[in-house]
Amino acid sequence: MGRTHALTGWCAGLALAPVVGAGTVHQAVVFAATTAGFALLPDLDHPGARASKLLGWFTGAISWLLRRVSAALYALTKGPRDEKVTGKHRHLSHTVLFAVGLGFLTSWGTAEGGPWAVFGVVVLGLLLAEGALGDWLLPVSGAAIGWWVWTAPPDKAAQLAEISGWLGIAVAAGCLVHCLGDALTESGCPFLFPIPIAGETWYEIRPPKPLRFRTGKNVENRLIFPVFAIAAVVLIPGVWEYLFTTVQGFLTPDATQTAVH
């Protein structure tokens, strides 16, 4: 479901933030919010998805075009054992090629477009994620952006240039996380297209049958979502260290008490 895609995207963003150099809390929050939002974007190939309805007729038209391109590509490239389906949903936008391509396009577009392009990508990610995770995301992310503006060095143009590189990674990571999530469901996800597997160009990657789960059912709602909800907090920079220190303080006897005993 959308909220699980967004939540796993948030966790992936927090985990990747230090790797790309977004090490402070406010940088990590902006990066993770962008990743969370774009973890919903692959479902733009479904007319009922939030991504397709986000900006009314505009995103609706992009969704319509994406479905037509995906269907045409599927008809052109399907292998002898591929299923007889339209190739619209869970095809082109649910591939590694799409994720990497959109990531590169984002990096190029934000580098060429300047601050407004960076702002546009971040806001789009926030709007996508907010609908899935809740309204709390907007003030938290807004505060993180405001803190960055307040504390950033005078050369904010250089800071924005650095963020443009992060955003490409955030967008690609979000799309990839979406594909991996769909791959755990009963339908699977053909994210390794165009690598042919077992006579199929669009082979649905999925785990063994006992490990698959149905979308929106108990495994997702009572196990996967709660686990990632905990991770969503623990992965915020500084939280794990604080928890570890607190627990260690409870488990380690006070020096004074040790001396008395």
Residue spans per domain, the chain: 2-260
Beta bridge partners of 185: 213
Strands (E), 130-247: none
Residue 140 has pLDDT above 60, yes or no: yes
What band does 256 get if pLDDT is binned at 50, 70 and 90? very low
Question: For residue 259, what pLDDT band results from cuts at 50, 70 and 90?
Answer: very low
C-alpha distance from residue 39 to each of 117, 251, 253 (Å): 19, 39, 45
Q: Give the pLDDT confidence of 36-86 residue by residue, as tens digits.
A: 999 999 999 999 998 899 889 999 999 999 999 999 999 999 988 988 889
Question: Residue 260: pLDDT above 70?
Answer: no
Contact, 33 vs 22, CB < 8 A? no
The predicted-structure confidence for 196-239, as pLDDT tens digits, reads as follows 998 899 999 998 887 777 776 677 667 777 777 777 777 776 66
Q: Position 213: which residue type?
A: F
> What is the pTM assigned to this prediction?
0.83
How far, in Å, CA of 42 to CA of 189, rounded? Answer: 11
Does residue 107 surpass a pLDDT of 60? Answer: yes
| Structure token pair of residue 238 | 């500084």
